[in-house]
Copies of this chain bind each other. A is one copy, B any other.
Amino acid sequence: MADVTLRDVARASGCSVATVSRVLAGTRPVGPETARRVREAAEALGYRPNQAARALRSRSTGTVGLVLPQITNPFYPALVRELTHALHAEGRAVLFADCDDDPKAEAEYIDDLLSRRVDALLVVPADEHRSRDAVAAAAARVPLVLMDRGCGPGIADSVAVDNAAGMALVLDHLAATGRRRVCYLGADGTASAAAERRAAYAAGAAALDPGAPGRLALGGFSVEWGRAAVDLVWDARPDALVCANDLIAVGALQRLQQLGADVPGDVAVTGFDDIPMAALAAPGITTVRQPVAELAAEATQLLGRRLAGRGEGPQRAIRLAPELVVRESSAPRP
């Protein structure tokens, strides 16, 4: 099945390749009768434009690169879904790379995507510091939007949830339902999500109890850490465990169950992100829902603007307000 090209369509419709190109790309006005003939011929021959040729000539592939640290992190599938749908709706295709939390692999993937001439890049950086050089270099070549995590100031446009606002929602809710001895089970990394949530806890927890800001256990964003962290704070007799994300909360719940603690009777547990598991845990986990669809829409809009405006304009850092989802894990005690 030989590929049918513009020439073939031109021959079949009795006009020049330029005209055919104009009809199919809609770049310039064309006589209605000619246009019809061209379209019929194209249809009849089953013409499919060769995007490689188009890309070579027009210096635009209609493709954006998406670089993630770990697709298996349960927060990302929903983000990928929304991003790819938003991008596809604009006729763009998505080149996907999962760098497995390795900044070195990340740099290589970014490089490869650039050499494949992506029009733009969407990056969730693997590491606040070590991703920086590669991201900055890439941002100098194509429009680039950072998502979910930052990697230093002034690097590129960025879109993320307002972590501080989310943590404030949690603390307000716990205060309103009578919790006072709160503890924070968090992550110690420099990743922006970890740092911002930690800082917001420290800033807001004092309103509940003067000792609260100091009651924290810092580890990683994982279920295992959630289990381990409970043991580190259990002696403090907390009545609420504020977790930096849902995975930690799931782990905490498991360990509390082993210890025979009643949730929410003895202690409330809260998470962050609202991954699917948060709703399915027993009890359901009160958490902060990231507005994933809106994050994706903002990111693609930002890209669209840069792509249209030749990269002009000041850098933007967009923060979207999250929403508190109250479930059983923080129900008020009777």
Interface residues of A (CB under 8 A from B): 1, 48-53, 55-56, 61, 63, 66, 70-72, 74, 76-78, 80-81, 84-85, 88, 93-98, 100, 109, 111-117, 140-141, 223, 250, 254, 257, 276-277, 280-282
Contact = CB atoms under 8 A, between A and B. Distances in A.
A277 B223 CA distance: 11
A130 to B, nearest CB: 20
Given A96-B84, A140-B1, A280 B277 contact: yes
Nearest to A223: B280
A179 B216 CA distance: 46
A84 B97 contact: yes
A122 to B, nearest CB: 12
A92 to B, nearest CB: 10
Given A77-B76, A77-B77, A88-B109, A49 B115 contact: yes
A95 B88 CA distance: 12
A113 B48 CA distance: 11
Nearest to A251: B280
A100 B85 contact: yes
Nearest to A51: B116
A107 B157 CA distance: 34
A53 B56 contact: yes
A7 to B, nearest CB: 15
Contacts of A63: 95, 116
